[in-house]
Amino acid sequence: MNNRHEALYAGHVAEVQRRWEEALEAEQFDGVLVHSGTPIYSFLDDYEYAFRPNPHFLHWLPLTRHADSAVLVLPGRQPTLFYFQPEDYWYLPPADPEPWWADLFRIEVVQDAADWRQAMKNTLEAAGVVQQSVAAIGDSPSLSGEFEAERVNPPGLVDRIHLARTRKTAYEAACIDAAARLAAQAHAAAEQAFREGESEFGIHLRYLAACEHTDTQLPYNNIVALNEHSAVLHYQAREREAPAQVRSFLLDAGCTVNAYASDITRSYASEPGLFGDLIAAMDGLQQGLTGQVRAGVDYRELHLLTHREIAGVLEEAGIIKISADDAVESGLSGVFYPHGLGHFLGLQTHDVAGLIDNDRQPVPRPEGHPALRLTRVLESDNALTIEPGLYFIDSLLDGWRAGRDASMVDWQKVAALRPFGGIRIEDNVIVTDAGCENLTRRAFAEL
């Protein structure tokens, strides 16, 4: 944690308190308890799955591995943290609270996982608040034993808080920026490993070493794909042996700082040629799209424009034999670009409230684009990704060839490009009224 984050954190907590008080008033609750979560054990074993706290708990506190703690939020009062710190010799217990964050909370240390219940009742009684007027947020089984079902994760309250999270505070933006800087360092190390002929597994290890993360600290499973594996959008395997001929490399990988994620993708060719030219074209296309991001832009329109731009790249390269407009109209562009342009980013890699407006009403995806994760009109302080892609996916190409007009495609060029897999270029940006702040490009430029 650096001084910049520390200096911004108090303002973040004050703003979160204000937003949550507004949400509580609108939904007629006198308070809310936010539980961090309880570890889950594997079936017929005493081994815990890797634990990550409830993101609403993380919205308040940078306690990224703290189970069975809870925050009680009451309007007009300092939030109370019930801090689970057991005496334990099986596992390392949580450290003592650090002043930079702890000074903003009233803290009660509890030594049993269920002790927050009585501590909460005592706090509510002292404040003159009836427990039946308090909501609860979280997924711990202990909540259902203390709160009626209708008061656990009430949809109206959760939606309002989700919407509040779409507008990042200065502290949140700084955390995402720091996560982007870490990831840029690790991406550079991974590219070097690729150039040295490492396997997917070896590249992944080099990435972890560069950012000093373990696998469980990553915001999502790294996508480390050589050759045709980069045509699998969420490729999850990591081959231990490098292929005999390495043609291409796609890395989709991020980092976390205080639970806030970065999400960055880069694509590489092993040598010059058509695939390298396509990467350069997609990189320019991606920067052009990013240049159009600003408050007031309908993200759906930007996504549809991406299809037209990618179809233009395909036309220019001679991969398709029809105009870009015809490729979009016929649906052919979706064969090469089957996912959405991007998504909100924050405490969750695919952050919340991307498909509802500020009145909590659904904002539909454009017809024929079921994978788009963000349909809102952009606002200042949104954090999001811009990630166009171009892929040679066997199942989609074969389906088009068998069921549609095969003459629209130069299948000889497609056959030459299939072993390269695909291309994705992804940056993380913060929206402003005048444009956007590209955290990723700045991080790479400063390496």
Residue-wise pLDDT tens digits, 33-74: 999 999 999 999 988 899 999 999 999 999 999 999 999 999
CATH number at 131 reads 3.40.350.10
- On whether both 145 and 210 belong to a single domain, the answer is no
Task: Tell me which of 132, 165, 198 is where a domain ends.
Answer: 165
Q: Name residue, tokens 């870490």.
A: 182
Q: Could you tell me what percentage of the chain is helix, strand and coil, using 3-state DSSP and rounding each to the nearest 5?
A: 45, 15, 40
Residues 6+ apart with CB under 8 A from 213: 182, 186, 255, 256
The single-letter DSSP state of residue 393 is -
Within 10 angstroms of residue 420's Cβ, the number of other Cβ atoms is 26
Query: Nearest to residue 234, comparing CAs of 219, 242, 222?
Result: 222
* CA pair distance 429, 184, nearest whole angstrom: 14
Q: What is the pLDDT of residue 1?
A: 41
* CA pair distance 58, 55, nearest whole angstrom: 5
Q: Give the 3-state secondary structure of residue 248.
A: strand
Q: What is the pLDDT of residue 5?
A: 78
* CA pair distance 399, 333, nearest whole angstrom: 14
pLDDT above 90 covers a percentage of the chain that reads: 93
Is pLDDT above 60 for 408?
yes
CATH number at 333 reads 3.90.230.10
- On whether both 99 and 228 belong to a single domain, the answer is no
- On whether both 250 and 344 belong to a single domain, the answer is yes
In this structure, what are the phi and psi dihedrals at residue 3, rounded to the nearest 5 degrees? -65, -30
Q: What is the pLDDT of residue 89?
A: 64
Is pLDDT above 80 for 92?
no
Quickly state the pLDDT bin for 88 (edges 50, 70, 90).
confident
- On whether both 95 and 176 belong to a single domain, the answer is no
- On whether both 8 and 130 belong to a single domain, the answer is yes
- Number of domains into which the chain is organized: 2
Q: What is the pLDDT of residue 90?
A: 66
Angle, CA of 410, 411 and 413, to the nearest 5°: 75
Contact 323, 288 (CB under 8 A): no
Q: Give the 3-state secondary structure of residue 366.
A: coil
- On whether both 261 and 410 belong to a single domain, the answer is yes
Query: Nearest to residue 17, comparing CAs of 120, 161, 113, 116?
Result: 161
pLDDT, tens digit (0-9, with 9 covering 90-100), for 273-294: 999 999 999 999 999 999 999 9
Within 10 angstroms of residue 90's Cβ, the number of other Cβ atoms is 7
pLDDT above 70 covers a percentage of the chain that reads: 99
- On whether both 210 and 315 belong to a single domain, the answer is yes
Token duo for residue 356: 């509802």
- Paired with 335 in beta bridges are none
- On whether both 156 and 292 belong to a single domain, the answer is no
- On whether both 158 and 176 belong to a single domain, the answer is no
pLDDT, tens digit (0-9, with 9 covering 90-100), for 149-193: 999 999 999 999 999 999 999 999 999 999 999 999 999 999 999
Q: What is the pLDDT of residue 2?
A: 54
Q: What is the pLDDT of residue 432?
A: 98
Task: Tell me which of 139, 165, 191 is where a domain ends.
Answer: 165
Token duo for residue 443: 């991080």
Contact 29, 132 (CB under 8 A): no
Quickly state the pLDDT bin for 100 (edges 50, 70, 90).
very high
Please state the pTM of the whole predicted model. 0.96
Token duo for residue 65: 């591995």
* CA pair distance 219, 426, nearest whole angstrom: 15
pLDDT, tens digit (0-9, with 9 covering 90-100), for 113-137: 999 999 999 999 999 999 999 999 9
Q: In whole numbers, what is the pLDDT of the chain averaged over residues? A: 96
Q: What is the pLDDT of residue 267?
A: 98
Task: Tell me which of 165, 190, 218 is where a domain ends.
Answer: 165
Helix 274-290 with 299-316: angle, nearest 10 deg: 150
CA atoms within a 13 Å half-sphere pointing along the CA-CB vector of 143: 25
Q: What is the pLDDT of residue 205?
A: 98
Pairing of strands 248-253, 256-257: unpaired
- On whether both 422 and 365 belong to a single domain, the answer is yes
Residue range 253-272: mean pLDDT, rounded:
98
Is pLDDT above 80 for 336?
yes
Domain span holding position 381: 170-445
Q: Which amino acid appears at position 112 of this protein?
A: D
Q: Name residue, tokens 């008033």.
A: 25
- On whether both 159 and 176 belong to a single domain, the answer is no
380 or 95, which is more confident: 380
- On whether both 68 and 144 belong to a single domain, the answer is yes
pLDDT, tens digit (0-9, with 9 covering 90-100), for 421-444: 999 999 999 999 999 999 999 999
Strands lying side by side in the sheet with 31-35: 106-110, 80-84, 70-73, 31-35, 134-137
